[in-house]
Structure 1
Amino acid sequence: MNRPTGEAEELRWHLPGDAPFQIAGFAWWRAERKYRRLPAVEPGAIREILDELADNTAGGQIRFATDATKLVIKAKLFAPSVAEHVAATAVNGFDCYLGKPGSQFYYGTTRFAHDADEYEYVFFENLQRKTRYVTLHFPLFQGVHDVQIGTNADAGIFEFPSYAAKSKIVFYGTSITQGGCVSRPGMSFTNLLSRRFDMEFINLGFSGNGKGDPEIARMIGDIEDPACIVVDYDANNVHADDLIRTMPEFLRILRSKHAEVPILVLSRIPYGYEHTNTASYEDRVVRRDFQKELVGSLQREGDRFIHFHDGADLLGDIWNECTVDGVHPTDLGHMRIADGLTPLLREILQYK
C-alpha cells in the first residue's frame, strides 16, 4: 500500500537529471537543466505572470527502468497547494506509471499533507525483484525545486526505451492545456496522449494567460524538431477581438520558423452553461468561425500543413457533464479531449 516512508529505512537516492534517467517534457532541459517550460529570460522579456507559470512543471516526465523492490520519491516544491477547485494531487503531486511505451499502466499518486511544500512518499515496496519501466509525471500547477528517486540500496537503474521519433508534439494554450482540472497529473490530456504516441510532448499551457503573445510564438519556433504544433488559446482571450488581433501574427511567427511543420488550430470547447447562456454560445461560434476562416485562407494561399478543428466536437454529446466548474474539464473531459485528438494527430502525423 502506498504510504509515507519511514526515516529509518535504508535507501539509495538518485538524481533524475543523471543518466540513465531521462527527463522529458521540458524543451530547454538539455541547455539549462531546469524543471521549467520556457527558457530562462531577463526580467521584462515576457510578461511576469508567464515567467512564473513557466516554472509550473505540467507535462514533465521522469523515465527510467529499475529492478527495485521499493520505489520512493522525495520532492521539494515552490509552495503548498492553495487551489480551490483543483485537487492537490494534480497541483503538487507526482503520478507513477509502470510499463514500456504503449503499455504504461497507472500505479499510484503521491499523497501528502494539504499544507506540505515538500514530502517523501513510497510508491511501492516489497515487490518481486524484476525490471520494471517507470514513468513519473510531474505536478501540473506547481514548480519543483528538487526531486530525488529512492530505491532499495542494491537496486539497479537502467535506460528507458528511447522515443520512436526524436521530434516533439508541442501544445500551446490555456489552463485547460496545462491540466485544469484533472485529479492527478497523468490524467491531463497531453499526458494521456503522451502514453498513446511514442513521442515527446511539450505542454505550454499557461493558466489564464494563453493570449497569443508573440514572444511565446518565437520561443516555440526555437524548439528543435517539432512534429506538430497545436494552437489552442481561444479560451484565454476575454474578447473575441483579442483573438482576431493576435492569432494571424502568432501563426505567421510559427510558420516563419517552421515552414512545413503541421500546425493544428483548435477552437475552444463548449462551456457547461451554454445550454442556458446563449451569449456564451454565440461568442464561441464567432471565435470558431474566425479561426476556421483564418486557417482556410492560409490553406488557399498555399499552406498545405495547417489544419483546423472545432473544439466543440471533442467532448461529444456529454459535453455538459465534462467540467468541474462549467469551464475546466474533469478527468472525464480530458479523456474525451484525448480520445478526440488521437485520430486527428495520427492522421496529421501519419502515425501508425
Structure 2
Amino acid sequence: MTQNWLTTPITPALLRGFIELEQTERGVLPHRLPGWARAQCSDPQLAMAESEPAGVRIAFRSRTTLIEVDTVPTRFVYVGVPARPAGLYDLHIDGGLAGQASAGDADTVTFDMATGSVTKQKGEISTLRFTDLPDHDKAIEIWLPYGEITQLVEVRTNAPVEPFPDRGRKVWLHHGSSISKGSNTDSPSTSWPVLAAAQGEVELINLGFSGSALLDPFTARVIRDTPADLISLKIGINLVNTDLMRMRAFTSAVHGFVDVIREGRPTVPILLVSPLYCPIHEDTPGPGAFDLDALAAGKIAFRATGNPADRAQGKLTLVSIRDELQRIARQRMAGDPHLHYLDGLSLYGPADFADLPLPDALHPDAAAHRRIGERFAAFAFTDGGPFCPA
C-alpha cells in the first residue's frame, strides 16, 4: 500500500541544542558556534568538533506512527587507526528511548597522518526509518550523532508535525571537552551531560568541543550571548593534552573567560568543574599523542609525551590545574555568590578508574558516563545544589 507522507523541512523551530543553522547545497547543517566565532579560528579540529551536533536534537509533537529522516553525515577516517562505528541517531518518545538508527551512506574525509594528505569522498543522502510507533499524540526527539557532522534534509511522517512546545524548563549551557561531547559513550543520548539534563529536567545546550575546550575568548562571548539560566564550565584536560599554555597564562585566561561571561550574565549560576581523573596526565604534562603500540595491536589509546620535570617551569598537569582552579574559584566566590566549584574527582576519581577504567586511557565508557551524569545531577540539581532554585 502506498504511504501518504507529509514532508516537513528542517527549520530552527524543529531543532533544539544548536547555536546556528547553515544552509548547504543538500540541507541544513547545525553548528554549535556561530559564523563570526568560527571565522576567528582556522583550527580544523575546532571546525570539526563544533559542527558535530552533540546535544542537538530534532524535536516535535505528532501522532505519527512512521518517521523518515533524510540526512548526510560526514565521517572521519584516519589511516592506520581503527575505524569508528557509524554514529547512532536516538529516537526518544515522551522522554524514553524508543529506537535507534544509523545512516547507511556518508561523506568521508580520510586523513593520512604520515603524509599529511586529506582526501574527501562524497556520499549519497541516507534515509533513517522509525516504524511501528504508538498511535497517539507524543513528544518526539531524535538525538543526532555526537561524532559525525550531520546535514539534515527533511522529515517525513504520516501525521502532521508541530514544533515542540516550550515546557518551561530552565536552559543549561555546558562547555567542556570531548568527554562532555560524549566520546566513548554508546549513543548521543547517553553522554553524561544528556543524562544529567534528563535528571535535572532542564534543556541542554552542549558546547563540548573535542580537543578544543581551550579558554578561547570567542567561546566565552558565545556563552555570554546565548540565553541560558545555568552555566557549567569543565576546564582542564584539553589544556594539558594540547600543551597550549603555562600556569601564568592559565590563571589569567580562566579569570578572563569568567569575566566575559559575567558581562552578560551577572547573576546566572556558573559552576566551574575541574578535570576528571586521567592517569596519563595527572602528573605528566602534554602534549598527548596516540599510543603507537596500541595502534599496532589494532586499538586506539593515548599517552602523555611531556616531561614531569617541566612542571617546575609551569607546564600544566591535571593535578596543578585542579589546585589552581579551586584557588581561583575560592577567590572569586568571595565576591560572587552565584559562582560555584565542583572537584572533577568527585565525578570520576581513582576508585572509579579502578572500577571502570578508561578504555583508551583518556575517555570514559558508557558505564562511566552514566556514573558521572548521576553524580553531577545529584550535586547540581538536587536541593541545596548550585542549579537548584532553592
Range class of TM-score, shorter chain: 0.7 to 0.9
Query: What are the ranges of 5 or more consecutive residues in structure 2 without an aligned counterpart?
Result: 23-27, 108-122, 286-307, 312-316
Paired residue secondary structure (2:369): helix
Matches within 5 A, 1:178-197: 178-197=181-200
Amino acid at match of 2:7: W
Indicate if the aligned counterparts of 1:87 and 1:184 stay in contact, CA closer than 8 A.
no
Amino acid at match of 1:11: W
Which structure has the highest strand share of the two?
2
Following TM superposition, by how much is the alpha carbon of 1:187 offset from its aligned partner in structure 2, in angstroms?
0.8
> Which residue does the alignment assign to 1:252?
259
> Which residue does the alignment assign to 2:66?
70
Of residues 122, 129, 150, the one that matches 1:144 is 150
Matches within 5 A, 1:269-288: 269-271=276-278, 279=284, 283-288=317-322
Structure 1 residues 304 and 194, CA, compared in 2 at 3 Å: closer, same or farther?
A: same
Structure 1 residues 345 and 42, CA, compared in 2 at 3 Å: closer, same or farther?
A: closer
Of residues 300, 306, 330, the one that matches 1:296 is 330
Of residues 337, 340, 343, the one that matches 1:307 is 340
Distance 2:188 2:279 in 1: 23
Paired residue secondary structure (1:249): helix
Indicate if the aligned counterparts of 1:80 and 1:114 stay in contact, CA closer than 8 A.
no
Following TM superposition, by how much is the alpha carbon of 1:87 offset from its aligned partner in structure 2, in angstroms?
4.7
Indicate if the aligned counterparts of 2:197 and 2:377 stay in contact, CA closer than 8 A.
no
Paired residue secondary structure (1:341): helix
Amino acid at match of 1:247: V
> Which residue does the alignment assign to 2:208?
205
> Which residue does the alignment assign to 2:119?
none
Matches within 5 A, 1:1-352: 11-17=5-11, 22-28=14-20, 35-41=30-36, 44-49=39-44, 50-77=46-73, 79-82=74-77, 87-89=84-86, 92-99=87-94, 104-113=95-104, 117=123, 118-125=125-132, 127-152=133-158, 155-165=159-169, 167-224=170-227, 226-238=228-240, 239=243, 241=247, 243-271=250-278, 279=284, 283-300=317-334, 302-315=335-348, 317-320=351-354, 321-346=356-381, 347-351=385-389
Following TM superposition, by how much is the alpha carbon of 1:159 offset from its aligned partner in structure 2, in angstroms?
4.5
- Deviations 1:243-286 (CA, angstroms, capped at 9, x unpaired): 33521211121122221111111111112568xx7647993222
Indicate if the aligned counterparts of 1:85 and 1:181 stay in contact, CA closer than 8 A.
no
Structure 1 residues 12 and 82, CA, compared in 2 at 3 Å: closer, same or farther?
A: farther
Structure 1 residues 230 and 128, CA, compared in 2 at 3 Å: closer, same or farther?
A: closer
Distance 2:39 2:10 in 1: 31
Indicate if the aligned counterparts of 2:37 and 2:219 stay in contact, CA closer than 8 A.
no
Distance 1:330 1:143 in 2: 21
Amino acid at match of 1:111: S
Distance 1:252 1:291 in 2: 15
Distance 1:273 1:236 in 2: 13
Distance 1:114 1:271 in 2: 35
Indicate if the aligned counterparts of 1:228 and 1:261 stay in contact, CA closer than 8 A.
yes
> Which residue does the alignment assign to 1:4?
none
Please, which moves more after superposition, 284-293 or 240-249?
Answer: 240-249
Indicate if the aligned counterparts of 1:63 and 1:136 stay in contact, CA closer than 8 A.
yes
TM-score, with length taken from structure 1: 0.82
- Deviations 1:50-87 (CA, angstroms, capped at 9, x unpaired): 3443222111111112111212222122x235375785
Indicate if the aligned counterparts of 1:81 and 1:115 stay in contact, CA closer than 8 A.
no
In angstroms, what is the RMSD of aligned CA positions? 2.9
Structure 1 residues 249 and 28, CA, compared in 2 at 3 Å: closer, same or farther?
A: same
Distance 2:34 2:134 in 1: 41
Indicate if the aligned counterparts of 1:25 and 1:61 stay in contact, CA closer than 8 A.
yes
- Deviations 1:172-215 (CA, angstroms, capped at 9, x unpaired): 11111111121211111222223223332111111111110112
Structure 1 residues 42 and 137, CA, compared in 2 at 3 Å: closer, same or farther?
A: closer
Following TM superposition, by how much is the alpha carbon of 1:93 offset from its aligned partner in structure 2, in angstroms?
3.0
Paired residue secondary structure (1:196): helix
> Which residue does the alignment assign to 1:5?
none
Distance 1:289 1:313 in 2: 14
Structure 1 residues 253 and 328, CA, compared in 2 at 3 Å: closer, same or farther?
A: same
TM-score, with length taken from structure 2: 0.75
Query: What are the ranges of 5 or more consecutive residues in structure 1 without an aligned counterpart?
Result: 1-7
Following TM superposition, by how much is the alpha carbon of 1:217 offset from its aligned partner in structure 2, in angstroms?
0.7
- Deviations 1:75-111 (CA, angstroms, capped at 9, x unpaired): 122x23537578534xx43210111xxxx11112213
Paired residue secondary structure (1:54): helix
Task: Report % sequence identity.
Answer: 21
Distance 2:358 2:57 in 1: 26
